[in-house]
Structure 1
Amino acid sequence: MIFHYFVIVLLFCISNTDGAGTLRFADYYESHMVLQMAPSRAQIWGYATSVGDTVTVDLNGTVAATATVAKRTDGKAGGIWSALLPAHKAGGPITIDIRSNDGHATLTDVLFGDVWICSGQSNMAFTLGQVFNNSAELEHSSHFNNIRIMKVALRSSNTTVDKTPLAIHWRTPAGSSTRYFSAVCLMFAEELAPHINRPIGLIQTAWGGTPVEAWSSPDAIASCTSKTKRATPHENSVLWNAMVNPLLKMTIYGAIWYQGEANIRHPDAYACQFPAMIDDWRSKFNIASKHQTNQQFPFGFVQLAANANKTLHFGFPDLRWSQTAKYGYVPNPRLQNVFMAVAMDLPDYNSTFGTIHPRDKQDVAKRLALAGRAVAYNEKNLDFQGPIPTDLTLTENKLVIEFDHGNSAIEVRKTDGFELCCGNNFNHTCHYNHWTPAPIVAHDQSTVTIDTSGCHGNMSLVVAVRFAWEMSPCEFKMCPLYDSTNDLPAATFVKYAPFNTK
């Protein structure tokens, strides 16, 4: 028994040597994977012993590319090779063979399609086996043979690394390990699949309880002058180093993100750090893939869902606002080619995993995929956002708010949700306890009218109006405003005076 254990450990160590002794692919290039399809060119890379040697790459028996083994820059023995494959249409399966004087390696059942990174903290890591109706969801997922999943193992590092151990190796969603894969990530792809007609590769790299700074490179941190210091795995850049940096050479199509709970104490800093991280990811994936990953690749995110405290007016709403770079919607001038799913109307106060982890990931995925179809895949005439305020006009004791509602009318489901900050001049500072409710008193297909009589006396000026500014602003799908076509709620927003007057 001891001998058998020793042999297993020895074989594991040999198979994971960092490029010593044989030609091989980098860790996350495996059979059954998805590589990025045309018009981009997929990059593959790996390790070899003989620096200066030539690596020949065959696709289905035909030479597709060659690469020269370059000396490693980290001081380790051996070399690294990389090759750009010809742009390949969607489909497969493809067999990829690599050969050199150091040996031969093969990948089988490789598909070409779109590759998505799925990252963030615990709600992205929340597994398919934890959602409502998980048995039915697992059975449903097993039929998507053109979706392939891979999960990066949890790992942190104070320096950048190029190896990334896998917790789930590339595979179809059929099988027992799928229950441990990200629910939002997989169901997002399942919702997209019928509309884009191509294979989808999913890479989960997520860790519960972690802040945005841990996923941000030192360059992204520096752009916001963040001084935050935390213990691993929360320390600045430690997950960027170990769970994102190793993936950079892979050509990808886009990324989705579900994170923010770990940053609610510093929402203003998030308004800088989150866009900075997106910019930095885009730049570094583009450069490392030899400019094959689009330098403005689509990036989707989920706004924070509701939590247990239904009346808390700070923390979560401030972070939701900062997630949009303080615009209240995406795409916007600061967050271009970015899309989101609003989730504040999807509470799960009885979740067995804690109220911060709602089990309804199905609605989240549907909303995210709908927005992704419009933004990431340029599907036209698609209503993918809830009502967005575009014009505010003050009349006597009333504020009329006009909404851009796409092709559908707005739907009012309850009359509360709006609040006013009152003051005696427009320079009045609106502290968290300076807000008074302003109920909806009228509405039509494109506007709502709220009562401003709460601002009176020597504090009669309406300095600002805000909407859904609570940790848990509404019960399940019962926020005040929705679009009437796709059941999408208006997002948290705040607007400051001066407003139009009539």
Structure 2
Amino acid sequence: MVLQRGPQKAIIWGTADTVGERVTVTIHGHGHVTTHVTKHPSKSGGIWKVKLPAITAHGPFTVLAKSSEGEATLHDVLFGDVWVCSGQSNMEFSMYNIFNASAEMATASSFKNIRIFKAKKSQSPTPYQDLSSIAIQWSLPTKRSLPNFSAVCMLYAEYLYPHLNYPIGLVDTDWGGTPIEAWSSPEALNACSHIHKRGPFVHTVLWNAMVSPLLPMTIYGAIWYQGESNAHVEAEANRYACKFPEMINDWRKRFNEASLGETRADFPFGFVQLAANSDNLANFGAFPALRWAQTAKYGFVPNKIMPNTFMSVAMDLPDPHAPYGTIHPRDKQDVARRLVLSGLSVAYGIKGIDSQGPFPTAFTAHKVHHTLHIEYDNGNIPIDVRNNTGFEVCCSAQSIPCGDHDPWVAAPVTKHDTTSVTLTTSACHQHVFGVRYAWRATPCEFKKCSVYGRDNDLPAPPFKEVAAF
């Protein structure tokens, strides 16, 4: 297994029969720590918890927990960064199902300092103190363990590893088809207006069974791929803009408290913005609104509502022939590479990494010429314009905010330079009160959206700017 490396201190915990019993945990070569058993909060017997010394050596180590009741030994323990991977089916999507699966699993098997663990699906109306069952015990990535392990999770660690050169532990806890409400505590949900769901994935049941038991573990960060089940209608997608930041804040608070302050109270949280979901480029649906809501309606992260977060844009990676439906694209490699780039910048603070796609910073309208000029990143980062499509403007006779169902018309790119594009608004015979980009479930063919970073090949994320132009 992998425990969190220093300067953070890993937490070890367990149960015992006798309250008050003395427990000693020893790491060979690094001393020992002692604690006493306290009453278990939900069942007979007791529970104990210790902080290990902060260890930066990779290992392997042997960890021994001992009391008068007996002893337990953990062998081949490494110290590195521990990441939790969670969400619904695109996070659950396994290594066995991605493009070039056999070759990818063979490569993954060579990473002996990456260790994987997967919680088994479980739900509960009340919080668990321990997982009810485990799908994959702590393991090396092997031909036996990898086929059922999250591809985004494993590939993220593979692409991250060369930059760290120390062990990585992965904890996979996910369930396809589940809404964000199931992964959120009651307190997180109460911070937002929400509709109580019915059926197998009601609010909080996965938080109780598949997150709460992990809270004492010291972790470095988390990555998340979810939102499809909240993108059925536009109104629900818009509510995600509150629910997602509240869930992140709540996870941070609770991991920090349960780990006795060792998991950072602002630990880095990465996510995948929803990928394409159709083989029809004209389809609309609620995916655009959900993508926008995933950034708390800023269009980019980190931002003041979502600090220390990072994102992988995946809307330009459609898989129209996906055997598991277009909602499950097989190209998880590009998703993970983009997530690592942004993670290196945000989660690890590495300077000089061009980790985000272009984002607009200034809009200049020329009403006489019926044009709208958009500058990206204050003119500092070069862009690559691959076609003239994807932009739309909102036409209205009144100065009112433009919604998704107001008259939006195409505004093709007429010219561009290294840092900006100019759109024609001539199709708008009224006033222009908004501009948006890539506002479709599948906004383009594979890697053929309009605007990318010239040097990093990262797509500009979708955006919506509502103002009088």
1:408: Cα distance to partner? 4.1
Residue of structure 1 equivalent to 2:270: 300
Residue of structure 2 equivalent to 1:112: 79
Provide the C-alpha distance between the structure 2 equivalents of 1:71 and 1:236, rounded to a whole number of angstroms. 29
> Which consecutive unaligned segments of at least 5 residues does structure 2 have?
none
1:174: Cα distance to partner? 2.0
Aligned pair partner of 2:137 in 169, 183, 187: 169
- Amino acid across the alignment from 1:471: A
C-alpha distance after superposition, 1:387-427 (max 9, x if no partner): 10101011131100010189641000010100010112321
1:177: Cα distance to partner? 1.8
C-alpha distance after superposition, 1:204-262 (max 9, x if no partner): 00000000000000000100031232212x20000000000000000000000000000
Residue of structure 2 equivalent to 1:398: 371
Residue of structure 2 equivalent to 1:138: 105
- Amino acid across the alignment from 2:341: L
Aligned pair partner of 2:313 in 325, 334, 342: 342
Residue of structure 2 equivalent to 1:220: 188
Larger radius of gyration: 1
Residue of structure 1 equivalent to 2:118: 151
Provide the C-alpha distance between the structure 2 equivalents of 1:405 and 1:153, rounded to a whole number of angstroms. 47
Q: Say if 1:135 and 1:448 are closer, same or farther in 2 by CA, change over 3 A.
A: same
Q: Say if 1:209 and 1:90 are closer, same or farther in 2 by CA, change over 3 A.
A: farther
1:61: Cα distance to partner? 5.6
Aligned-partner SS, 2:448:
coil
How much identity, in percent, do the aligned residues show? 54
Q: Confirm or deny: 8 A CA contact 1:383 1:407 kept in the other structure.
A: no
Q: Confirm or deny: 8 A CA contact 1:387 1:405 kept in the other structure.
A: no
Aligned-partner SS, 2:44:
coil
Provide the C-alpha distance between the structure 1 equivalents of 2:250 and 2:379, rounded to a whole number of angstroms. 32
Aligned pair partner of 2:423 in 446, 450, 453: 450
Residue of structure 1 equivalent to 2:393: 420
Question: Within the alignment, does 1:186 sit opposite 2:157 as a pair?
Answer: no
- Amino acid across the alignment from 1:261: E
> Which consecutive unaligned segments of at least 5 residues does structure 1 have?
1-32
Provide the C-alpha distance between the structure 2 equivalents of 1:301 and 1:429, rounded to a whole number of angstroms. 28
Residue of structure 2 equivalent to 1:377: 348
Aligned pair partner of 1:102 in 32, 55, 69: 69
For these two proteins, the number of residue pairs brought into alignment is 462
Residue of structure 2 equivalent to 1:206: 174
C-alpha distance after superposition, 1:432-466 (max 9, x if no partner): 2510000000101111000011222xx2x110000
1:156: Cα distance to partner? 0.3
Q: Say if 1:132 and 1:406 are closer, same or farther in 2 by CA, change over 3 A.
A: farther
Provide the C-alpha distance between the structure 2 equivalents of 1:431 and 1:363, rounded to a whole number of angstroms. 29
C-alpha distance after superposition, 1:38-67 (max 9, x if no partner): 111111100111110110111016532111
- Amino acid across the alignment from 1:255: A
Q: Confirm or deny: 8 A CA contact 1:313 1:432 kept in the other structure.
A: no
Provide the C-alpha distance between the structure 2 equivalents of 1:61 and 1:484, rounded to a whole number of angstroms. 51
Q: Confirm or deny: 8 A CA contact 2:114 2:140 kept in the other structure.
A: yes
Aligned pair partner of 1:430 in 385, 399, 403: 403
Q: Please, what is the CA RMSD of the aligned residues?
A: 1.2
Aligned pair partner of 1:478 in 425, 448, 454: 448
Q: Say if 1:90 and 1:358 are closer, same or farther in 2 by CA, change over 3 A.
A: farther
Residue of structure 1 equivalent to 2:220: 253
Provide the C-alpha distance between the structure 2 equivalents of 1:84 and 1:433, rounded to a whole number of angstroms. 57
Provide the C-alpha distance between the structure 1 equivalents of 2:106 and 2:460, rounded to a whole number of angstroms. 33
Provide the C-alpha distance between the structure 2 equivalents of 1:186 and 1:94, rounded to a whole number of angstroms. 23
Aligned-partner SS, 1:92:
coil
- Amino acid across the alignment from 1:497: A
Q: Say if 1:161 and 1:340 are closer, same or farther in 2 by CA, change over 3 A.
A: same
